[in-house]
């Protein structure tokens, strides 16, 4: 396992690294001024409001066993061909029976949930079915294709069974110069996100008739160009619904496929711990806001970078009291109750990620594992063996939580 000195050095930088690479590639928006439309900024009164007082609500008695009934570790294939790293990975798809991992330069690794490497194919390049920069990957379950979005708007489609190239849709590029995330609604319809587009960030696109529509979401001017403007992949599915998260304030919106609009769903009211335009001086340069945010995050909640949702609960991890200090919110949508904590009683963070059914899946680097798993976390014998044998040379590790 990693030495205490290496761990201390890692903790000093892990927030910056994880923001940029832990789940996906995050893109900074332009440093030019953004129009203050007020679209999707702040709490929406039509949403369900979760009132949180960070001075009184943070619990120090939450155990990992309060959140999940089982924790499992799977070491992904350690062969040379299978080795990857979270600083290379831009997107992960947790399909029904396979895990697809997309790297920045176009390599896709396919693993089983037992960690075995199933396939590797490389789509980086300029030939048929190849791209220069992949930004997001998704499974289009309606037609059985694995789809990869390039930064310039091309949607590359591959047969999910054998990874053969089956088609390219370039319609998005006629509307947006750069696209950073997408989500298939069905065979022809997509939700898009472009964090560098000054007129707005969330869009709807129908490739069958080239319909293109602005859905809202305006990144505030004071976020523009800072590392706190990172977006990640804001769309995710909950049951039959598609939700969208504003990662600068944690607000959740639900996509209405009939009206083709994003409807307010859940907003977080953090009171004096919430960043608003009133808390910052206007019309300063990007360096000012970068410096301010480094100190502001010690007093106010920022960067809701890790968000996932089950049918009954919402999980959000955000920065508070320092840039390396993630806190986690667990909100029960049925009862309206919530808990907030920094670390569990076992001394580890709980970072939300992809949820399917009662399972949450999360991939992390071996040198980061001690931030989320230690010898106090209850595990079965096989997972304990995996944990004890992780070294800095190991491949990435899959954490599986069975949620309560």
Pairing between strand 261-269 and 252-256?
antiparallel
**pLDDT number for residue 292:** 67
Q: CA 385, CA 77: separation in Å to the nearest integer?
A: 15
Give the tokens for residue 352: 């939300």
Q: CA 190, CA 44: separation in Å to the nearest integer?
A: 25
How far CA 330 is from CA of 70, 103, 140, 352, in Å, comes to: 17, 30, 29, 10
Element of type H or E holding 157: strand 155-159
pTM: predicted TM-score of the whole model, two decimal places: 0.86
Q: Which residue has the tokens 């949820």?
A: 355
Q: CA 174, CA 20: separation in Å to the nearest integer?
A: 28
Element of type H or E holding 154: none
Residues 383, 97, 370: CA angle, nearest 5 degrees: 30
| DSSP structural state of residue 209 | T
Q: CA 274, CA 72: separation in Å to the nearest integer?
A: 35
Q: pLDDT of the chain along its 404 residues, tens only? A: 444 334 444 433 333 333 333 333 322 222 222 333 334 545 566 789 999 999 999 999 999 999 999 999 999 999 999 999 999 999 999 999 999 999 988 899 999 999 999 999 887 788 888 888 889 999 999 999 999 998 889 999 999 988 899 999 999 999 998 888 999 999 999 999 987 766 678 999 999 999 999 997 777 766 666 665 556 799 999 999 999 998 888 999 999 999 999 999 999 999 988 877 676 776 777 677 767 666 666 788 888 989 999 999 999 999 898 767 899 999 999 999 999 999 999 999 999 999 999 999 999 999 999 999 999 999 999 999 999 999 999 999 999 999 99
Domain architecture of the chain: domains with CATH: 4-403 (2.120.10.30)
**pLDDT number for residue 387:** 98
Nearest Cα to Cα of residue 363 among 164, 148, 74, 117? 74
């Amino acid at each position: 396992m990693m030495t205490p000195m290496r761990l201390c050095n890692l903790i000093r930088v892990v927030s910056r690294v994880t923001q940029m690479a832990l789940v996906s590639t995050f893109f900074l928006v332009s440093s030019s001024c953004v129009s203050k439309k007020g679209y999707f900024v702040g709490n929406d009164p039509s949403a369900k409001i979760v009132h949180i007082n960070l001075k009184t609500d943070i619990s120090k008695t939450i155990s990992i066993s309060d959140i999940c009934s089982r924790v499992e570790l799977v070491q992904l294939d350690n062969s040379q061909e299978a080795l990857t790293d979270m600083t290379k990975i831009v997107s992960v798809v947790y399909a029904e029976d396979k895990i697809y991992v997309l790297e920045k330069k176009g390599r896709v690794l396919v693993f089983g949930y037992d960690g075995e490497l199933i396939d590797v194919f490389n789509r980086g390049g300029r030939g048929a079915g190849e791209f220069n920069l992949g930004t997001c990957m998704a499974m289009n379950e309606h037609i059985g294709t694995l789809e990869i979005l390039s930064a310039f708007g091309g949607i590359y489609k591959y047969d999910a069974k054998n990874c053969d190239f089956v088609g390219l849709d370039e319609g998005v590029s006629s509307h947006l110069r750069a696209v950073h995330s997408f989500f298939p609604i069905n065979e022809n319809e997509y939700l898009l996100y472009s964090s560098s587009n000054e007129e707005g960030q969330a869009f709807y696109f129908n490739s069958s008739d080239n319909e293109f529509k602005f859905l809202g979401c305006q990144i505030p001017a004071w976020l523009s160009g800072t590392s706190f403007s990172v977006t990640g992949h804001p769309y995710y599915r909950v049951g039959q619904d598609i939700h969208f998260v504003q990662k600068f304030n944690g607000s959740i919106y639900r996509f209405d496929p009939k009206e083709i609009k994003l409807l307010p769903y859940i907003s977080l009211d953090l009171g004096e711990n919430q960043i608003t335009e009133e808390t910052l001086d206007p019309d300063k340069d990007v360096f000012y806001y970068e410096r301010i945010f480094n100190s502001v995050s010690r007093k106010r909640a920022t960067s809701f970078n890790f968000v996932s949702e089950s049918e009954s609960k919402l999980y959000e991890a955000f920065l508070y009291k320092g840039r390396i200090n993630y806190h986690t919110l667990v909100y029960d949508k049925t009862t309206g109750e919530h808990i907030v904590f920094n670390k569990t009683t076992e001394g580890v963070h709980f970072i939300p990620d992809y949820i399917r059914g009662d399972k949450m899946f999360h991939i992390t680097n071996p040198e980061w594992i001690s931030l989320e798993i230690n010898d106090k976390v209850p595990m079965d014998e096989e997972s304990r063996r995996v944990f004890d044998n992780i070294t800095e040379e190991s491949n990435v590790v899959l954490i599986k939580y069975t949620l309560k």
